[in-house]
Amino acid sequence: MVRGADRYLLGILGLSLLLNSWHLTWGLPNGNHSWAADAIGPVTALGVARRTFGAWNSGWFYFKYPPAWPLIMVLSFLPYLSLLYLSGGWTRPSSQYPYGFADPAQTLFVLAMTGRVVAVCFGVALVALTYGIALRLFDRLTARWSAFLTATSYPLVYYAHTTNLDISYCGWLILALYAAIAASRSTRPLPWAALGAAAAMALATKEQGFAFLLPLPFLAWVARARVAGWASVLGRSTWVMFAAGLAMLLLANNALFNPMGFVGRIAYLLGHPLAGVSARLAPVEFSAWKGAKEWIYLAQLWDGLESSFGAVLLALVGLGAVAIWRRPGAAAWLLLPVAAQYYLSLRGLELIALRYLLPVVVIGCILAAVPLAALWRAARTPLARRVGASLLVGVGGLSLARAVELDWLLQSDSRYHAEAWMADNLPPGARVEVYQKPAFVPRLRVPVVGTHVPLAERSVLGIATRRPDAIVTSSASHKSITHRWAADWRETRDMLEAEPVAEVFLAALQGGTLPYRVAVTFQQTPRVLRHRITSLAPEIRIYVRTE
């Protein structure tokens, strides 16, 4: 064991690794798809790398996200892909199935698992970073509790199971925070370079984090100025931070090889439609005050945080946010980035989804650790120690139970049961229709024949013509059965557009006026979680033809 290593931290890191890795095969194999909404599939990551490096200054950009996370995934794929190429398992790479793979199903499974292992590493690293932040701002006991609460936070455990970019994005933001705290106490170039590089990687993963990053250099400069004067702010350390940040930003966005692609993505984010780009504009709009909508944002924020922590832990977060003001420096480090993220970034969105709150959740874990550590330090008598230990064990057990239940939801997903039911109860070759993305429905594999029906063909007449043997619907993203994304939300002030014919069809299906009945419904009922993750534990309903 390394001298000076905290054995409690090593144990917590081991727990984090176990929780993040349990049933890591959730929903796999599934080709390039995943049950995690908005996850980056292996072929998608390879496609981003091919297109962004395909030609000098092509101007191409991935409209959905910056390229950093797909490129990290591809880097993790390289050893396996090299082995396949040398052994003949990957010849004549192509953008069309089977993509040049001799065994595409097995290859895509291994690549998807490789990407998830990288996400697990980011999840475990987050635990270590929260420990380091709390240790620098408070003490070792608070650091241990911060690490434990982070390791058992169900949103973080969930996203460590997926190839969504959110766990890496959160990791880069928290690394930038840690580096900024370290830089504020040092003139050495390393922490300042780490601050610039981590901030650049966060922006190259998801630009949404810009607001969280804004206060960090200013907080570091103020702290250095108190020790060495304001002249130190313009010293070598600051220039090292800017140089490392700029270099990493250009490198991670591939702006050196494809500068017009980098510029094009910035223009797209600013709401300027580009010729040849048919992607819908993101619903982003900032205003200093949005009237009654401010209460909607606060309600969404509360809903996400209450889901992430539960009532007990959220009360501790609030208590910690109040108690922390006894240490104004620590309060500034933890609360200013969160406040900036909410006001400048999250409020600019149409909806504050839970995954947008991951950095706030991490800070909340540190805040909740403050009163827990204070409770133990305040227990001086044997009776007080016993009472305090009981309370701490209860809180720790509750947090752990929430993470364990998350893993149980993954392992016993309702879609597994739906797949088994169809295999046992539908005849070989049965035609099954779905109307939602693969992220929300069971995998349609042999012996059934699955078909995704386009929105324009979801009609009473269409179903009478096609006469499928079964129809499968999911409670997740249920509106996508009858709605499409608006091409330009600014025209309708709504992200979705309804298809009237599809609405009539769905009403008829649910109302029993079509020759289909509900054969079986599969759902999971969590006991300690009130989760707000779209593709987690959906209710699956299977209709069969009655004629």
Q: 80 is in which domain, residue-wise?
A: 8-275+285-408
pLDDT at residue 180, as a whole number:
97
Rounded to 5°, the CA angle 357-363-366 comes to 145
Of 489, 494, 488, 476, which is closest to residue 437 (Cα–Cα)?
476
Domain boundary among 408, 439, 468: 408
Class of residue 542 by CB neighbours under 10 A (exposed 0-12, middle 13-18, buried 19+): buried
Q: Is residue 514 part of a domain?
A: yes
Q: Let me know whether 399 and 525 are in one domain.
A: no
Residues 440 and 404 in one domain: no
Picking from 368, 390, 408, the residue at the C-terminal end of a domain is 408
d(C-alpha 547, C-alpha 543), whole Å: 12
Q: Model pTM? A: 0.95
User: By the 8 A CB rule, do 426 and 433 touch?
Assistant: no
Chain CA centroid to CA 189, Å = 31
* Residues 296 and 164 placed together within one structural domain of the fold: yes
Domain identity same for 114 and 259: yes
User: Do residues 436 and 369 both lie within one domain?
Assistant: no
- 356 and 475 co-located in one domain: no
The answer on 454 and 361 residing in a single domain is no
What pLDDT, on the 0 to 100 scale, is given for residue 287? 85
Nearest CA to 17 out of 122, 112, 173, 143 is that of 122
**129 lies in some domain:** yes
Please identify, among 352, 381, 408, the residue that sits at the C-terminal boundary of a domain: 408
> Does residue 236 sit in the same domain as residue 250?
yes
Task: With respect to residue 1, please indicate whether it lies within any of the assigned structural domains.
Answer: no
Cα gap 362→230, rounded to integer Å: 32
- Domain-embedded: residue 425: yes
Alpha-carbon distance 53 to 68, whole Å? Answer: 13
Number of domains in the chain: 2
Residue 2: what pLDDT? Answer: 41
Q: Could you tell me if 391 and 419 lie in one domain? A: no
Residue 2 in domain:
no
User: Does 236 reside within a domain?
Assistant: yes
533 backbone dihedrals φ, ψ, rounded to 5°:
-110, 120
**Residue 1: its pLDDT value, please?**
35
Phi, psi (deg, nearest 5) at residue 288: -60, -30
Q: Residue 144 has which token pair?
A: 């241990």
The pLDDT of residue 205 is 98
**In a domain? residue 280:** no
Do 138 and 221 fall into the same domain? yes
Buried b (16+ CB within 10 A) or exposed e, 189-223: bebbbbbbbbbbbbbbbbbbbebbbbbbbebbbeb
Tokens describing residue 375: 């409770």
Same domain for 385 and 432? no
Quote the pLDDT of residue 394.
Answer: 97
Show the tokens assigned to 187: 């003139």
Specify whether 44 is located in the same domain as 170.
Answer: yes
Sorted by sequence, the CB contacts under 8 Å of residue 58 that are 6+ apart come out as 51, 52, 258, 260, 261
Does the residue 40 lie in any domain? yes
Task: Print pLDDT tens along the chain (547 aa).
Answer: 345 689 999 999 999 999 999 999 999 999 999 999 999 999 999 999 999 998 899 888 898 899 999 999 999 999 999 999 999 999 888 888 999 999 999 999 999 999 999 999 999 999 999 999 999 999 999 999 999 999 999 999 999 999 999 999 999 999 999 999 999 988 899 999 999 999 999 999 999 999 999 999 999 999 988 877 777 777 888 999 999 999 999 999 999 999 999 988 888 887 765 666 556 666 677 888 989 999 999 999 999 999 999 999 999 999 999 999 999 999 999 999 999 999 999 999 888 999 999 999 999 999 999 999 999 999 889 999 999 999 999 999 999 999 999 999 999 999 999 999 999 999 999 999 999 999 999 999 889 999 999 999 999 999 999 999 999 999 999 999 999 877 665 666 667 788 999 999 999 999 999 999 999 999 999 999 999 998 999 999 999 999 7
Pure H helices in 24-103: 42-53, 68-87
What's the Cα-to-Cα distance from 367 to each of 146, 335, 340, 345, 395, rounded to whole Å?
8, 9, 17, 21, 14
